[in-house]
Structure 1
């Protein structure tokens, strides 16, 4: 049984290489009580040295950051994490992330991985120690030692996002950073009808901001739901991967259909257009949460955002 630690949970995962298109078992033990983990030797010009790979689940309030990805002269989530981890471990750290969130986007289930030579570090206290170096709006909630082949990005099978819409006449001071306020009445049935053609594998070029480096805009949406929760509408979407601003563009289109500005029957044509202008508005960043990532070993970092918890 996994033993919780204040400020983060630590487990050890010893397994074979991650296979993005297959499933596998997940052997977990409390890191403080497990046998010594397998060490991976990495050759270099000065000889070989041993290192281990660490996986972390991370949550953050993205309001004050210029996105997740490290950028020169900009305050980013990755920049803060790398600086804090490097200072704690006493060596440079390069993070791999499951996704790159934009300015103002939040996360409750982001996953990062990194390698380190600090094999003997007391990893059961890593999250606690790291939190003394991180700003209050970034926290590590889960830490695990994983196989050397693991990559937070390339090993991922599924990513899930949640988007919160505050649907009422007047805005909220307390939710202004965490939901998109829409004062017009919303037609939930029209919103759901517009979502149906987006399910499955499609070319989502019409829903892409900046094109990916390889130019491939085909993605597969596994689920897309819209559920009322009091004055909120909660959009949940899961896919194998997402394009730049894809979820926010989808939510923007669904909102336009819900307000009667677009016909839900036009969505199939918007997909076929392969033109970003066809999809219309982009929903604002503050309502979006990177909620979780699933991997072949059974690990899933998904957590409902606090705004969805009642």
Structure 2
């Protein structure tokens, strides 16, 4: 059974997030319906990140298992045809080893948050960023964001209903910069807590407005208390931009380790499938 790795771009505004849920429109649901229309198969696809309602992606990654060994280009073109008119596009499709898992094989996820910083109302960009009217000091926001880099207990920036087993995460990179009327925050980590990025952005906005400083952010992080967090940023400004993975050799070794944990009969069956 061939496995495909697909890179997905989508406008999150019409959807109740990535994950399929009942009758509500979701990105996963659109792609699974496109697969059904393409080859008649009913499948459940996996995704690298379960983006929330309204959140966008330019580099979401999913894996798809199909019964027939189709050329990757055929799968890409067919899914793009059948995803229309929903704003979901397969940007890339390639064959992947059976050991590849879009979620569990990921070693790093990259997010970008867009603040549209101008006094005038939005027209074309409505729903594609967080409209903030007061002028923001992006340099001060960047300086304050650096206290969040490293291995920390991020309870302060965690949704109260977050299902992660631990609040400890390692933030590898944080950067805030201005491009004309846009203020961007970029961050990278192996994984994130529910609402973590939006919570950090909302807190750093207070710095940009001059109401907080770097030490206030440090104190909020150290408090490990949700009440210490600033107002949470809206979902429309958040974009999943890229997901990094191990090399093919590393992924194959990981799959071998996984096989060793299975009963002998199941291991033989998985090995026979490749």
Q: Fold conserved (TM > 0.5)?
A: yes
Aligned partner of residue 118 in structure 1, secondary structure: coil
Aligned to 2:56: 106
Matches within 5 A, 1:1-310: 51-119=1-69, 121-136=70-85, 137-297=87-247
Cα offset, 1:133, TM superposition: 1.1
Higher alpha-carbon deviation: 59-68 or 260-269: 260-269
Aligned to 2:267: none
* Kept after mapping to 2: 8 A contact 1:211/1:243: no
* Kept after mapping to 1: 8 A contact 2:159/2:196: yes
Aligned partner of residue 226 in structure 1, secondary structure: strand
The TM-score with structure 2 as length reference comes to 0.86
Where do 5+ consecutive residues of structure 2 fail to align?
A: 249-274
Where do 5+ consecutive residues of structure 1 fail to align?
A: 1-50, 299-310
Cα offset, 1:212, TM superposition: 4.4
Alpha carbons of 1:251 and 1:138: their partners in 2 closer, same or farther (altered >3 Å)? same
The TM-score with structure 1 as length reference comes to 0.77
Aligned partner of residue 289 in structure 1, secondary structure: strand
Cα offset, 1:197, TM superposition: 0.8
* Kept after mapping to 1: 8 A contact 2:4/2:72: no
The whole-number CA distance in structure 2 between the counterparts of 1:253 and 1:97 is 28
Over the aligned positions, Cα root-mean-square deviation in angstroms equals 1.4
> Of Structure 1 and Structure 2, which has the larger fraction of its residues in helix?
2
* Kept after mapping to 2: 8 A contact 1:166/1:181: yes
The whole-number CA distance in structure 2 between the counterparts of 1:202 and 1:196 is 12
